[in-house]
Amino acid sequence: MITGGLSGFGFAAAEWLYREGVRHFVLLSRSGRPDEKTQASIDDMIRNGAEVLLRAVDVTDFQRLNQVFTDVAASDLPPLKGVIHSANLYADAPLMEMQQEAFLKVVDTKVEGAWNLHLASRPMDLDYFILFSSISSWVGNPGQANYCAGNAFLDSLSAYRRQQGLPSLTLNWGALAEVGFLASHQEVNDHLQRIGIQSMDPRRALESLPMLNGFQQMNLCMAEVDWPTWASFHETGASPKFSKLVQTSNASEGSGKPPLIEELEQLEDPQARQLRLREQILEVVAGVLGVGSTDQIDLHRGLTEMGMDSMLAMELRQRLQEAYACKLQATAMFMYPNVEKLVGLFRDQLLQGMFDSQEVVQELGEEDLDDMSEEDLEGALARELAELRESEQ
């Protein structure tokens, strides 16, 4: 029996079990209706001797779920031997913006669903009770507090069941290519790759399951992660918990100034230096937003309006930190919400030593002044006034 078994990784698991010789399936989802491609694959399985029962059931509804177990027990199918809980929903949002409804619907599918399966299957003599969880409950993932919390429950449920002498294994998968959410959200896939979480081939991932039979653990994480890259994007990466995985390369430390800073230093003309800083930041922003050319970015338009969600904001912060070897506050992307404001932050605060010459303002022609935001003009005027005052004293 596979919950969420009519799509995504749940159905990939059904296909893998079929290849392994399993011939009796109960596949559950709320709709109970597979899409065309999945139906064709089910038809193939049936043609080749498999028995496939499809049921529309919401796993958070204990009565209905329990009824499915009763129906299966009363049917011609052989006794139920294994359950895989793959039912899942996503409703990502930064924690402070996450509505209760979005939080609960994700958590309930994982928590209530798993608990109901635990209760309903207790009378059965199962060989396997497998919960599909995610690496995110081990390492966290910004914007997925609900998903991480729901999966963390699955991690503990296996411990509880094992204590009771019941079979249970929670598998914390890394990103999976081609199935489920990532298959239809290439931009999320690209982002995960950039922050060190590589997507795995779901077939390969499933094919390595039999070797897990030899393991006694209740939780296993199977993921492809570039740990140093991952740690550079996540403050939790500095935790001793990950020290064995994150082997920070000393070679890259103290190897000199970042190239972008060197490039700025080589420009003697202060105006050119400021213009280059703006271009550099535009290039970093364009890279994170995935737009082909910096011309497509309006300097004064909110980054959020241009598609920068909390996940990408985290990535932008990290890229800027690396590019300029600096530390940015976690809220920096919200406090400096467009490119021009970010340029101002670097020019006036973080790289101040490089831009403290008043020449920058004096040498900007009228055309450049037209291009400046109100805040930049205010800053420029403030600097001029300060200089005038100094010269009067």
Binding site for ligand NAP (CB under 6 A): 3-4, 7-10, 28-31, 58-60, 86-89, 109, 113, 132, 134, 173, 175-176, 179-182
The helix (H) or strand (E) run that includes residue 42 is helix 36-47
The smaller minimum CB distance to ligand NAP, of residues 182 and 354, is found at 182
The smaller minimum CB distance to ligand NAP, of residues 180 and 270, is found at 180
The helix (H) or strand (E) run that includes residue 230 is helix 227-233
Token output for 234: 């996540």
**Contacts with 225 (C-beta within 8 Å, 6 or more apart), sequence order:** 135, 174, 196, 197, 198, 245
Rounded distance, CA 45 to CA 49, Å?
7
The smaller minimum CB distance to ligand NAP, of residues 149 and 275, is found at 149
The smaller minimum CB distance to ligand NAP, of residues 59 and 195, is found at 59
Q: How far is the CB of 18 from ligand NAP (least distance, A)?
A: 17
Percent composition of the chain: helix, strand, coil (DSSP 3-state, to 5): 55, 10, 35
Q: How far is the CB of 100 from ligand NAP (least distance, A)?
A: 17
Whether residue 149 contacts residue 92, with contact meaning beta carbons closer than 8 Å, is answered with: no
The smaller minimum CB distance to ligand NAP, of residues 62 and 227, is found at 62
The smaller minimum CB distance to ligand NAP, of residues 31 and 75, is found at 31
Q: How far is the CB of 108 from ligand NAP (least distance, A)?
A: 7
Token output for 219: 């939780």
Rounded distance, CA 88 to CA 83, Å?
15
For 317, other C-beta atoms within 10 Å of its C-beta total 19
Closest CA to 162 of 118, 206, 209: 118
Rounded distance, CA 347 to CA 350, Å?
7
The smaller minimum CB distance to ligand NAP, of residues 87 and 139, is found at 87
The smaller minimum CB distance to ligand NAP, of residues 199 and 294, is found at 199
Rounded distance, CA 74 to CA 62, Å?
18
Which residue type, as a one-letter code, is found at position 307?
Answer: G
Closest CA to 45 of 67, 75, 22, 72: 22
Q: How far is the CB of 226 from ligand NAP (least distance, A)?
A: 17
Q: How far is the CB of 42 from ligand NAP (least distance, A)?
A: 14
Q: What is the DSSP annotation of 246-313?
A: ----GGGTTS-S-HHHHHHHH--SHHHHHHHHHHHHHHHHHHHHT-S-GGG--TTS-TTTTT--HHHH
The smaller minimum CB distance to ligand NAP, of residues 190 and 262, is found at 190
Q: How far is the CB of 56 from ligand NAP (least distance, A)?
A: 8
Rounded distance, CA 144 to CA 161, Å?
26
Q: How far is the CB of 222 from ligand NAP (least distance, A)?
A: 9
Q: How far is the CB of 94 from ligand NAP (least distance, A)?
A: 20
Q: How far is the CB of 31 from ligand NAP (least distance, A)?
A: 4
